[in-house]
């Protein structure tokens, strides 16, 4: 869904804004006015739910419901408005943005769903607050293209995100999922959903019960999110997460086709696993080779986003998926994005520290320590010693890691006074494993911000769903490791339907081999982009070291190729927003 809302402190929209809106309506046949009242005007390309003097945009699901809510009864509308959106958070879920108008108090509450992928970007123009699903919509009413915010770009390169509520474009903000914005007047942000409140709830104390409940939550969430689509195209890697999705689609009786992407290097070839999954669930599986020649490093897949969230290698994946969807008649592309985060794929002793602090029996402590030791390929005693230190000596529950590789000291200095993610701002005294899990959830929330509302066909990551997250927060962190490997609760939840070869699998392929292939075949192009680019002009990157790596004919070692390619992605994004192409 796409939308554009104008909120004004007065009772009329300024004439120049109204002219721009009318011009867009005359050009876009699929957009229409869905709300036109004093102080709140909304355009959208799909029908909306009415809520008294406001609307809910996007997909809203009742807890336990199967499909999106078609309408809200008058008493329910009144209850939602009276709660100022809290009732939406507590009794519903989905991918929605609600505009709840209170004419008596000249106030509009804007509420965004926790983990909802319907965007909520905010800007100011001509005395009004503009809120839109995407930058392309927002730019219809902006007088000029926003400038790049280089401090937020530095933070993004070091920490992988922007400050809470910020983007990497100057003057463009975002409403985080689970928050409420009140306008007009001074902006007031209130948090309606926090992972800590669910983490503090009564835990699911039995592993079998946790697995059974997780299975039900995942199946119900996937069924609801895909209820409006007839033929999904599943990006099936052959890993645990996408195979769980395949089992949900098959269990719901929905016809679907699988697409497996293959890299030239053996580490990126998962055809054996993908075919095993597709055969198990009775679906056809198409195989396609990644082609580095189809990737233009100077073209950013995030050119319509206010963050450089899309990697260059995704260009090829998106092209292949779009072509396959058209050929097959698929109406949505589905992937297992965020599954590692939702199913707690940690590489840490923190969950074992939680078990020690909780006074779990020694046999359970040993079982969890053994699993973590096998994953990390270290001695079990080492894991126990480090976990004990985390449990009783180190006071901070979570330390936000950063990556300053190939950045200059001034660039890193720009991130020193950053505001931490609000979920991680007050973790002292909290269980370290639970805090690390919540950090993974913050990354999953950022994942949904990378969805491009203008791209066709639509791509969904249905594992990232509020009911699944809330259940995961109530599962003791060590349960995810007990019984061998990580994501143990998810493996147990779907053990009876997963192919044995996938159920027992502890490794997974990554796009790293394709990224390295792009690096090796584009060294000169990379040098031209970075050495004469915007990041260099801002003094943010270590040019001598980068030039040395690119000039060395030997294969680059460690994670340096991946890091350089990440810099290329950000450079391409920044160039898009300083040229005439971005947001169009």
- The residue whose two tokens read 């052959």 is 238
Residues 6+ apart with CB under 8 A from 301: 310, 311, 312, 314, 315, 318, 452
pLDDT tens for 261-296 read 998 776 778 899 999 999 999 999 999 998 888 899
Tokens matching residue 345: 């794929």
Q: What are phi and psi of 481, to 5 degrees?
A: -115, -20
Q: Is the pTM of this model over 0.75?
A: yes
Residues 139-165, mean pLDDT to the nearest whole number: 89
Alpha helices in 291-349 (DSSP H): 314-328, 339-342
Summary mean pLDDT of the chain:
91
CA distance 373 to 349: 9
**Which residues of 459-548 form beta strands (DSSP E)?**
459-460
Residues 136-145, mean pLDDT to the nearest whole number: 92
In three-state secondary structure terms, 439 is: helix
Q: Is residue 73 predicted with pLDDT exceeding 60?
A: yes
Report whether 298 contacts 576 (CB < 8 A). no
Residues 389-412, mean pLDDT to the nearest whole number: 83
pLDDT (0 to 100) of residue 457? 87
DSSP state of 485: S
**Which residues of 72-178 form beta strands (DSSP E)?**
92-102, 107-112, 121-125, 128-132, 173-174
pLDDT (0 to 100) of residue 27? 86
Q: Is residue 584 predicted with pLDDT exceeding 60?
A: no
Share of the chain above pLDDT 90, in %: 72
pLDDT (0 to 100) of residue 448? 87
pLDDT tens for 224-254 read 999 999 999 999 998 999 999 999 999 998 8
CA distance 166 to 149: 10
Does 152 or 428 have the greater pLDDT score?
A: 152
Q: How confident is the model at residue 161 (pLDDT cuts 50, 70, 90)?
A: confident
Q: How confident is the model at residue 12 (pLDDT cuts 50, 70, 90)?
A: confident
pLDDT tens for 452-473 read 888 888 999 999 999 999 999 9
Q: Enumerate domains of the chain plus CATH numbers.
A: 3-192 (3.60.20.10), 199-342+443-503 (3.40.50.620), 522-578 (no CATH)
CA distance 548 to 553: 10
Q: How confident is the model at residue 54 (pLDDT cuts 50, 70, 90)?
A: very high
Burial of 101 by CB count in 10 Å (0-12 exposed, 13-18 middle, 19+ buried)?
buried
Q: How confident is the model at residue 43 (pLDDT cuts 50, 70, 90)?
A: very high
pLDDT (0 to 100) of residue 366? 94
- The residue whose two tokens read 């792009």 is 518
Tokens matching residue 285: 């599986």
pLDDT tens for 13-27 read 888 888 888 888 888
- The residue whose two tokens read 């899309």 is 310
Q: ω before 60 within 30° of 0 (cis)?
A: no
pLDDT (0 to 100) of residue 320? 95
pLDDT tens for 301-316 read 999 999 999 989 888 8
Q: Is residue 581 predicted with pLDDT exceeding 60?
A: no
- Point out which residues pair with 180 in neighbouring strands: 111, 190
pLDDT (0 to 100) of residue 105? 83
CA distance 320 to 313: 12
Q: Which of 350-364, 505-519, 548-562 has the lowest mean pLDDT?
A: 505-519
pLDDT (0 to 100) of residue 395? 64
Residues 6+ apart with CB under 8 A from 507: none
pLDDT (0 to 100) of residue 468? 98
Q: Is residue 580 predicted with pLDDT exceeding 70?
A: no
Tokens matching residue 522: 């584009």
Report whether 475 contacts 487 (CB < 8 A). no
Residues 210-218, mean pLDDT to the nearest whole number: 98
Q: Which of 44-53, 177-186, 330-339 has the lowest mean pLDDT?
A: 177-186
pLDDT tens for 313-344 read 888 899 999 999 999 999 999 999 999 999 99
Q: How far apart, in Å, do the first and last CA atoms of the chain sit?
A: 17
Share of the chain above pLDDT 70, in %: 96
Residues 101-126, mean pLDDT to the nearest whole number: 93
Positive or negative, the Cα torsion across 191, 193, 198, 201? positive
Q: Is residue 499 predicted with pLDDT exceeding 90?
A: yes
pLDDT (0 to 100) of residue 446? 85
Q: Which of 21-35, 270-284, 562-576 has the lowest mean pLDDT?
A: 21-35
Q: How confident is the model at residue 356 (pLDDT cuts 50, 70, 90)?
A: very high
In three-state secondary structure terms, 5 is: strand
Residues 63-71, mean pLDDT to the nearest whole number: 92
Q: Is residue 5 predicted with pLDDT exceeding 70?
A: yes
**Pair type for strands 459-460 and 332-334:** parallel
pLDDT (0 to 100) of residue 418? 64
Q: How confident is the model at residue 573 (pLDDT cuts 50, 70, 90)?
A: very high
Report whether 270 contacts 371 (CB < 8 A). no
Residues 520-546, mean pLDDT to the nearest whole number: 96
Residues 570-577, mean pLDDT to the nearest whole number: 97
Positive or negative, the Cα torsion across 365, 370, 371, 376? positive
CA distance 480 to 493: 11
Identify how many contiguous H helices and E strands the chain contains and give both numbers.
24, 17
Q: Is residue 153 predicted with pLDDT exceeding 60?
A: yes
pLDDT (0 to 100) of residue 61? 97
Q: How confident is the model at residue 512 (pLDDT cuts 50, 70, 90)?
A: confident
Q: What share of the chain is helix, strand, coil (3-state, %, to 5)?
A: 45, 15, 40
CA dist list (Å): 393 to 197, 346, 353, 385, 397: 25, 21, 11, 11, 11
Residues 115-127, mean pLDDT to the nearest whole number: 93
In three-state secondary structure terms, 516 is: helix
Q: Is residue 376 predicted with pLDDT exceeding 80?
A: yes
Report whether 360 contacts 433 (CB < 8 A). no
Report whether 195 contacts 473 (CB < 8 A). yes
């Amino acid at each position: 869904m796409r939308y554009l809302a104008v909120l004004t402190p007065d009772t009329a929209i300024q004439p120049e804004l109204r002219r721009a809106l009318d011009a867009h309506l005359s050009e876009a046949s699929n957009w229409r006015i869905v709300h036109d009242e004093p102080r709140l005007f909304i355009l959208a390309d799909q029908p909306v739910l009415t809520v008294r003097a406001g609307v809910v945009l996007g997909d809203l699901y009742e807890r336990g419901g199967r499909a999106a809510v078609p309408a809200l009864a008058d008493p329910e509308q009144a209850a939602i408005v009276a709660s100022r959106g809290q009732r939406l958070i507590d009794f519903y879920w989905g991918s929605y943005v609600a505009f709840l108008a209170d004419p008596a108090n000249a106030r509009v509450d804007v509420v965004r769903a926790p983990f909802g992928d319907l965007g909520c970007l905010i800007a100011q123009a001509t005395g009004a607050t503009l809120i839109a699903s995407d930058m392309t919509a927002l730019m219809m009413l902006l007088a000029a293209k926003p400038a790049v915010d280089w401090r937020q770009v530095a933070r993004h390169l070091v920490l992988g995100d922007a400050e809470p509520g910020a983007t990497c474009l100057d003057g463009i903000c975002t409403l985080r999922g689970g928050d409420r914005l009140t306008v007009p007047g001074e902006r007031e942000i209130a948090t309606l959903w926090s992972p800590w409140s669910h983490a503090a709830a009564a835990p699911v104390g039995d592993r079998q019960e946790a697995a059974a409940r997780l299975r039900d939550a995942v199946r119900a969430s996937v069924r609801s999110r895909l209820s409006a689509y007839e033929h999904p195209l599943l990006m099936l890697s052959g890993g645990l997460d996408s195979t769980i999705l395949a089992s949900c689609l098959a269990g719901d009786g929905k016809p679907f086709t699988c697409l497996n992407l293959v890299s030239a290097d053996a580490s990126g070839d998962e055809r054996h696993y993908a075919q095993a999954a597709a055969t198990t669930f009775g679906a056809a599986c198409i195989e396609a080779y990644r082609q580095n020649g189809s990737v233009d490093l100077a073209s950013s897949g995030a050119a319509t986003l206010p963050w450089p969230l899309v990697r260059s290698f995704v260009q090829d994946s998106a092209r292949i998926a779009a072509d396959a969807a058209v050929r097959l008649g698929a109406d949505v592309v589905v992937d297992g994005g965020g599954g590692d985060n939702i199913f707690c794929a940690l590489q840490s002793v923190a969950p074992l520290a939680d078990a020690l602090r909780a006074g779990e029996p020694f046999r359970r402590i040993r079982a969890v320590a053994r699993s973590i030791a096998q994953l990390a390929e270290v001695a079990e005693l080492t894991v126990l010693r480090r976990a004990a230190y985390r449990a009783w000596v180190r006071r901070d529950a979570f330390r936000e890691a950063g990556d300053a590789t190939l950045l200059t000291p001034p660039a890193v200095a720009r991130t020193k006074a950053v505001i931490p993610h609000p979920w991680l701002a007050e973790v002292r005294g909290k269980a370290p494993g639970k805090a690390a899990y919540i950090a993974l959830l913050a990354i999953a929330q950022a994942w949904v911000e990378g969805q491009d509302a203008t791209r066709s066909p639509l791509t969904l990551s249905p594992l990232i769903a509020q009911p699944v997250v809330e259940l995961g927060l109530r599962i003791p962190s060590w349960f995810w490791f007990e019984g061998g490997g990580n994501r143990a609760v998810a493996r147990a939840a779907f053990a009876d339907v997963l192919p044995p070869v996938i159920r027992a699998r502890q490794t997974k392929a990554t796009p790293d081999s394709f990224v390295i292939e792009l690096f090796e075949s584009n060294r000169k192009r990379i040098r031209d982009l970075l050495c004469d680019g915007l990041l260099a002009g801002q003094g943010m990157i270590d040019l001598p070291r980068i030039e040395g790596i690119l000039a060395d004919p030997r294969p680059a070692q460690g994670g340096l190729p991946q890091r350089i390619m990440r810099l290329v992605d950000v450079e391409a994004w920044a160039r898009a927003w300083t040229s005439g192409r971005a947001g169009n």
